[in-house]
Chain A
Amino acid sequence: NAGVMQNPRHLVRRRGQEARLRCSPMKGHSHVYWYRQLPEEGLKFMVYLQKENIIDESGMPKERFSAEFPKEGPSILRIQQVVRGDSAAYFCASSSGQGFDTQYFGPGTRLTVL
């Protein structure tokens, strides 16, 4: 079984550009979570989505960040007009929504803003 897939694995952007991070959940999973890990910091929740719906975006910065999980295709985390402080590892996790709803993480996207 394929696990959670994320691409690209590494992304370099200049200040002011846009970054698009993609996440395909595990087969059979319809719940997607995005987390960010800043250098030397812990994992912080950003947003929780199910197909076509944002369930919880309490961790998303108010500006420049958006997320979607369309009916078809991967979930996308979009960062507009990136700044150096956006440099971090962005992890996607997926779950089935059943039982204790264990979340399984993808390999992450390392974003570097020059």
Chain B
Amino acid sequence: QKEVEQNSGPLSVPEGAIASLNCTYSDRGSQSFFWYRQYSGKSPELIMFIYSNGDKEDGRFTAQLNKASQYVSLLIRDSQPSDSATYLCAVKVGSSNTGKLIFGQGTTLQVKP
């Protein structure tokens, strides 16, 4: 089992729709979770992080965390063509606040005009 798993997609949604991106992780001790966006040929760009069970909203983005199910998701409301990118879920393993991130393979999102 991979430490962090994502569906590679592509996930295709029409402009204006809600895009739902999912991620599961294997280390129950993980404390913090990050979503990065990566455009083709570019570097990862932080979108959000979450550490408490429940929802965290920032503009059109909502991160959801369920530690019991070891599941984290990212919702993008009112999807725009400019949201088309690969979305990377990252988990900081262990209980320390510092340390490496374990990334999923990423989900490619295509938003069609």
Contacts and interface: CB of A to CB of B under 8 A. Distances in A.
Contacts of B100: 33, 45, 48, 56, 58-59
Contacts of A97: 97-98
Contacts of B36: 105
Interface string B48-69: 0101000000000000000000
A77 to B, nearest CB: 15
Interface size class of A (residues with CB under 8 A): 20 to 34
A65 interface: no
Contacts of B97: 97-101
A98 B102 CA distance: 19
Interface stretch (B12-20, B39-47, B74-82): B39-47
Given A42-B104, A100-B32, A48 B99 contact: yes
Contacts of B90: 43
B27 to A, nearest CB: 14
B25 interface: no
B43 A42 contact: no
Interface of B: 32, 34, 36, 42-46, 49, 51, 88, 90, 92, 97-106
Given A56-B99, A102-B46, A103-B101, 15 more contacts: A31-B98, A33-B100, A35-B101, A43-B101, A43-B103, A56-B100, A91-B43, A91-B44, A95-B98, A97-B98, A101-B98, A101-B99, A105-B36, A105-B43, A108-B43
